[in-house]
Amino acid sequence: MFSVTYDELNIVLKEVLLKSGFSEDDSVLCAKIFSDSTLDGYHSHGVNRFPVFLKTITDGYVRLGAQPERELALGSFERWNGKLGPGPLTANFCMNRAIELAKESGMGCVALQNGSHWMRGGSYGWQAAEADCIALCFTNTMPNMPSWGAMDANTGNNPLIMAVPSKDGHIVLDMSLSQFSYGKMEKFAMDGKELPFDGGFNAEGNPTKDPKAILETKRLFPTGYWKGSGMSILVDLLVTLLSSGKSTAKIGKLEAEYGLSQVFICFDAKQMNSDKRHQELVEEIINFVTKATSEKKGKPIEYPGSQTKKRREVHMKEGIPINKNVWEQILAL
């Protein structure tokens, strides 16, 4: 492993983006999104995915300079066409717009058609929480997971993000609807490690912790088995209907994963409750959760976002560990 500072990572990614044709402003924002994801420990959708992200541009599936265009406005709901612009930039724009609508009327919902892979979905949960908004966002994907009982990939591992702001550290859940995301399995495979739990089936149809075997079969376990399978189907329905965009079935007929459908929902926490009441309710729940007896003595009970905050602090002080081959690949760009 190789270690870099956050500032060094940000500068290098920005320079690569500038040389790839991004504008100054877009380079700054996109570099920050990738750097923040890596800082928080999500290398699978941060620095490890960066070369792949650039390749989607050179391959023509993502269009530099494309600006989202509003196609429908119904009060606090808006539908936008992403025009295949860079996924992180478009998702950041849509979440900002959902935040603006929430500040205006208490809640806002933005549905996006013709989007691109947004990389780490949690980025937009943290973005909303920083703006004092309660948020929910989700996206569909190409068919990359069998529904419960199926042999073939007939649904996506459609990521789901929920966020709640808190002065003691935001609570943010970022999960795919497969037991392990493809990015996470790729990182385990890159590091030569097994998954901590069975994540899917191997070629013989047996449950396995071998990430390489699961990546080959593409037979991932849905999160919660049949429950995650059902959620995946409903996420696809919701984003497709609200955006009037492409479903997982339609995306699966394309030569690559692009033209995704996404939804961003925000509630202005300050209009829902006073700051004091909001924090009281958050602490009531988090304290109840974290005061439970730990099954491992001395190990704290975590909640969504708590470990992210710890990794962020450690990496800012000690540097960010990055796979040496990945770093050399980025420098070569």
User: Which residues does the annotation mark as catalytic?
Assistant: 45
Using alpha carbons only, give the angle 34, 37, 40 rounded to the nearest 5 degrees.
150
Q: Structure tokens of 279?
A: 């924090």
Torsion angles phi and psi, residue 201, rounded to 5: -105, 145
Q: Structure tokens of 294?
A: 């730990």
Specify the residue for token string 């966002």: 137
Query: Beta 107-115 vs 77-81: how paired, if at all?
Result: parallel
Query: Beta 171-175 vs 207-208: how paired, if at all?
Result: unpaired
* Beta bridge partner(s), residue 176: none
Q: Structure tokens of 252?
A: 């699966």
CA distance linking residue 164 with residue 168, whole number of Å: 11
Q: Structure tokens of 247?
A: 């479903």
For 175, residues 6+ apart whose C-beta sits below 8 A from its C-beta are 159, 160, 161, 223
Q: Structure tokens of 321?
A: 């560990």
Q: Which amino acid is present at 67?
A: Q
Q: Residue 273 in contact with residue 138, Cβ under 8 Å?
A: no
Q: Which amino acid is present at 333?
A: L
Specify the residue for token string 């993502």: 62
Q: Which amino acid is present at 11?
A: I
Q: Residue 68 in contact with residue 43, Cβ under 8 Å?
A: no
